[in-house]
Chain A
């Protein structure tokens, strides 16, 4: 475990150096431990792949006290329960009309479209981080055979619900936005709805499975094309 002062009101803790379910489970366990130990001095937390950014109130406490308490709390961190978190099923309509890069990605990988779909929907993913935009969940790890680098020129407009791959990460775009990931399908489930409770179907630490659906099912579930 490494701990550093990150700014006037923040420290960052590293619980590993690479993306793995074990490190992610430790990050999750650290979220719970830090929340308990800092109580009202804690302002916000940003868990990510291998780190936890801890934001505190610098007018109530200081980095020495926070570092000391966090170190003590994490020393006794139990080997986290890797099965914690829920499993969420997200339906996906995989097709060239819903995923503009599906054909190119398959061709580059030397696979058929059906094989790409089978590989993408055949793995269970973990929610490693949420950020970039409200509700944008970084899921990993994608099978190496369908990993693909970001587009050289990002698109100005990626539609809401787009299911995409970048390197060994995959995600569902929560809102229409610019983006450089490879689009392979469309998910009708809203990933971020400020008026819904909960606002997101997934949390960091949850597991996600993608379930292939056809065009008709996609439209029935409220999906939109175009």
Chain B
């Protein structure tokens, strides 16, 4: 079958100053609600209620989407750090255990448990 040509829209099709439709305004509202659930440091100083044009709506939607992604990326980073720290503690506890004794494994495990219990109490 022959190659079918697909006409492109003219340059004049682009108009970010077009008034935002009710759909885009609703999209902004959804994002505003999503933003309100983010920790304060991720929130923008954008006044969502004042959005009038597509360009403004797009800017706000981008800011919130990126903030959500950043908040999740930071949470993941913290999760990784905690995991790493825990592994380090376990390794450290294992190093402390007496070598070549039959009860070594049991005692090391207890040491880790003790460390965790102490930590919990401190919290």
Co-complex (A, B): no
